[in-house]
Each structure stands twice: as C-alpha cells, then as structure tokens.
Amino acid sequence: MTVGVLALQGSFNEHIAALKRLGVIGVEVRKAEQLQDVSALIIPGGESTTMAKLAGYHNLFPSLREFVKMGKPVWGTCAGLIFLADKAIGQKSGGQELIGGLNCTVHRNFFGSQLQSFELDVSVPEIAATEGGPPNFRGVFIRAPGILEVGPEVQVLADVAVHSDRTANFDSVESSEEIPGSEKKVIVAVKQGNLLATAFHPELTADTRWHSYFLKMVKETSEDTSSSTASSAGIIRLPQPPKYDLPIYQQ
C-alpha cells in the first residue's frame, strides 16, 4: 500500500511521518502523473489559497477530480477539507478553485484567525469503536474551517459545540441540534464513500487513530477492486460452436 500526500504546501511531512509509524509508505505528490502510482491520497492542512494557486499552476485540478471520481480514498485535513467540499464560503475575494466531491458546505475560516487557534478534546465514537483507545481525540484547530451543512449521504464523525460569544460565525450555523445557553454544534469530521475530511490536524498529534482509520478505508477499497477483478477474470467464455450449412433432406 502506497499513500500519496499532496506536497504543495502545509503539513505534508507530518502526514508522511504518521504513516511511517504505521508501517505504510507515504510519498510526496506534486505532479498529476504521480497520482497513477498511489492507492490513496491525503490533502494536508495549510494555506488553502496558496495551495489552490500552486495546484492550478501545476494543472493538478483535473487529475485530482478524476482521482476522486474513480473512487480512490482521499482524506482532507483542514485546508484539504476545504478542497474536497462542493461549496465553500468565507473565502477571499475571487474565491479559490475546489476539487469537490464531498456533499457539504464549508466555512473557510469558521473558527477565526491564526491567533484564535486552539486545541480541544473532540468526541469520536466511530474512531474509538473501530480503532480502540479513548472516546475523545485531541483536535488541533489552526485557523480551522467548519462544516455548516451536509448531504444525506454524508456520515458525521465528529462535531463540537460553539458559543455565540466566542465564535464570530455563530449565526452561519444552521444546526438542527441546538444546545441551551446560546450554543450550537458545528461539524468537524465527516465521511462520504471514499472521502474522509477533518477540520482539525490529526497529523500534529502522536495519536495515529485517524490515519489507521483512513488506511482501513484504503484496504477495503483495494479488496473491493481486487474482488471485482477476480470475478471478471473467473468468467469462462466458451467458444461459439461453428455453424454448418447442411443440405435439407426432402422425401
């Protein structure tokens, strides 16, 4: 299993180091043709506008969109989440190009500026159930986005409470899960088919459970592909019998 990490800017080295701790090869991806050699892709956190400009400069967007459409596993963290979203708001003038595929609306700087970065214990029942360990994960939120809306096919893996007096973008949250005391919940981690996305940075912690969870997605996808190929290869096609023009017997 070889996992590509988009290495245009941001915390790609940290993702590669986390994969190495799990015994998996992580390779830097900067060109479209390199996507042909990897089983899956991680889009790291960083400065999303800068990453988008570099991806456009290297003409990566068509290949990245095709990679997603092919059903190969892709995980976006922070800026990577913004890239995968079908819709992003709160962007700079002119916006930025997106890969898309993840049926959600993301607010680009939902939790504020760089100075408002923080760490928070996030409840992760799905991760704890599949990967073990404690029920919470120490989320590192750096100028982090927030997921405002998701489609019906999107599985919510984690959300956090936000306060009206602490979050400038509180009114943009249309959460159906209101909390008493001027609080709402904003989604910070989701899964949709072959796509995984987190608003925080698991690669900046020693806890590799999110990476392990993603690798299980990669393995399942590889097994499904192998099974499909094997099934096709197992079909025995018998040759058609030759046709003979025999004379018609008449009495």
Q: Is the pLDDT of residue 102 over 50?
A: yes
Average pLDDT over residues 44-59: 92
Q: Is the pLDDT of residue 61 over 90?
A: yes
> What pLDDT is attached to residue 93?
61
- The 10s digit of each residue's pLDDT in 4-34 is 999 999 999 999 999 999 999 999 999 999 9
Q: Is the pLDDT of residue 235 over 80?
A: no
Q: What angle do CA 46, 51, 56 make, to 5 degrees?
A: 170
Fold (CATH) for 2-226: Rossmann fold (3.40.50)
> What pLDDT is attached to residue 186?
93
* Catalytic choice (15, 107, 201, 211): 201
- The 10s digit of each residue's pLDDT in 173-202 is 665 454 455 678 899 999 999 999 999 999
Average pLDDT over residues 143-150: 94
Amino acid at 138: R
* Catalytic choice (15, 78, 104, 107): 78
Q: Which two tokens stand for residue 199?
A: 């608003």
Catalytic residue at 203?
yes
> What pLDDT is attached to residue 94?
61
Catalytic residue at 104?
no
* Catalytic choice (104, 107, 183, 203): 203
Tell me the pLDDT band of 230, cut-offs 50, 70 and 90: very low
